Structure formats: C-alpha cells, structure tokens
Amino acid sequence: MTFAPEAKNVFAGAALFLFTPSMIFAVNTLTSSKPARRVVMYSKRAYNK
C-alpha cells in the first residue's frame, strides 16, 4: 500500500494534532496530582543531598 507524499504529510499533521493535546493533558494531570508532587519533592531532596 503506497501513499502520495501529500497524504503522508496529512497523516503526520493529523497525528501531531491529535498527539500534542493529549500529551499536554497527560503532563498536566501527572504533575498536578498529590502523589506526583510527593515524587518531585522526594527526588529533589535526594538530588540535593
């Protein structure tokens, strides 16, 4: 199955368009939860020793 170069660009654009918002949402969700804050706090403590 072959695609024209224009179609490949459309697929890449659609994938990026769908992937970026979900990635931003996942990062915000993971960094705003209390367990995530604890992990960050403990890793900062361990790193600064």
pLDDT at site 41: 83
pLDDT at site 49: 61
Which amino acid appears at position 23 of this protein? M
pTM score: 0.42
Cβ atoms of 36 and 30 within 8 Å: the answer is yes
Alpha carbon 17 to its chain centroid, in Å, reads 13
In tens, the pLDDT along 1-49 reads: 566 667 778 888 888 888 888 888 888 887 788 888 888 888 888 777 6
Distance, in Å, from the CA atom of 34 to the CA atom of 46, rounded to the nearest integer, reads: 18
Cβ atoms of 25 and 17 within 8 Å: the answer is no
pLDDT at site 5: 67
